[in-house]
Structure 1
């Protein structure tokens, strides 16, 4: 059985978890937080998530894990059959990560500390997100799913990217970013209503208090130095 290592407060962890649940792949979870020695035994750079396969091999990086899951458990596909269409799905995922998730992630420390990000940081984040908006406008179909008539890995990926965008970038920048992409908010609402998304959200909320204790401890330690 696959073991999923990490913690439910992580959006990258939840991308992999959603894919496993959608494909009905048997797996177990091991709660490990970033920065722990235990995580380094399964993730070369100590990043969440990681998995241990049925063969005892450890893998990290969410996109790598998602590809492994797709290739190992193809019966419920999350990528189209056409190589071109698969590339389009991956293109959407990559743009969502580079131009939505990663810039929004820069604002996490300010959200967690309840402080306002410096104007220079806000402007840098805004510039990157502004580059991503027209790209996603061109690529996302919402008919009814992001890449067309069938739910794909792009839907799962974007949904959990948007968790960070809404919690961090939209809050710190006072900007309804999802509204900039027609159809995105309605699609996102549909994604949140699935039984899988509801379960993952419940697990995330339950994990947040312990996660925040660890975050605050790290911030206090850093401030004490």
Structure 2
């Protein structure tokens, strides 16, 4: 059985969890936070999520984990059969990560510390997000899924990227980023209504108080140095 290590407040942890649930794979969860010694033993960069396979193999990085799960458990596929179509799905995932999730993540420390985001950083984040908006507007079909008629890994990936964009990018910039991509808000809402997404969200909400407590303590400790 697969063991999923990490914490439910993490969007990438939830992405992998959603994939496991979608594929109806048995797994267990092990609560670990970034920086813990146990996590560092399993994850070279000390990041979550990490999975331990039934054979004892430990893997980190969500995209690597998702590809491993897809290749090892091909039933209920999350990629198209055609190689070109698979590449397009991965292209969407990479663009969402680089131009939506990562720039929005730069704003997290300011949100948790309650400090104002410097104008220079706001401008940089807006510039990168604008590239993401342009690219995803060209690529996403929402017919009804991101890549067309079939739900793919891109749907799950982008949905959990958007949790960071909405929570930090949009809120800190006072900008409804998702509304800039035609069809995205409607698709995002449809994704949120699935039984799996609601199960994952319930677990996320339950973990948030403890996660915020740990992050706040870490920020105070860093500021005290």
Range of TM-score over shorter length = over 0.9
Matched residue SS, 2:42: coil
Deviation, 1:24, is 0.4
| Number of residue equivalences | 225
* d(CA) in 2 for partners of 1:45, 1:172: 28
Does structure 1 residue 189 correspond to structure 2 residue 189? yes
Does structure 1 residue 46 correspond to structure 2 residue 46? yes
* d(CA) in 2 for partners of 1:62, 1:167: 20
Deviation, 1:113, is 1.6
Deviation, 1:112, is 1.2
Deviation, 1:132, is 1.1
Matched residue SS, 1:59: strand
* d(CA) in 1 for partners of 2:113, 2:153: 32
TM-score w.r.t. the length of structure 2 is 0.99
> What do the CA deviations read for 1:119-156 (whole angstroms, capped 9, x no partner)?
11111100001111111011000000000101000000
Which residue matches 2:137? 137
* d(CA) in 2 for partners of 1:220, 1:51: 30
Structure 1 gap segments, 5+ residues each: none
Which residue matches 1:89? 89
* d(CA) in 2 for partners of 1:150, 1:180: 23
Q: Which runs of 4+ in 1 moved over 3 A?
A: none
Matched residue SS, 1:28: strand
Does structure 1 residue 103 correspond to structure 2 residue 103? yes
Which residue matches 1:32? 32
Deviation, 1:114, is 2.1
Deviation, 1:187, is 0.1
Matched residue SS, 1:29: strand
* d(CA) in 2 for partners of 1:147, 1:221: 44
Matched residue SS, 1:121: helix
TM-score w.r.t. the length of structure 1 is 0.99
Matched residue SS, 2:142: coil
> What do the CA deviations read for 1:183-212 (whole angstroms, capped 9, x no partner)?
000000000000000011000010011101
* d(CA) in 1 for partners of 2:181, 2:210: 34
Deviation, 1:39, is 0.4
Which residue matches 2:63? 63
Matched residue SS, 1:8: coil
* d(CA) in 2 for partners of 1:99, 1:149: 25
Which residue matches 1:76? 76
Deviation, 1:169, is 0.7
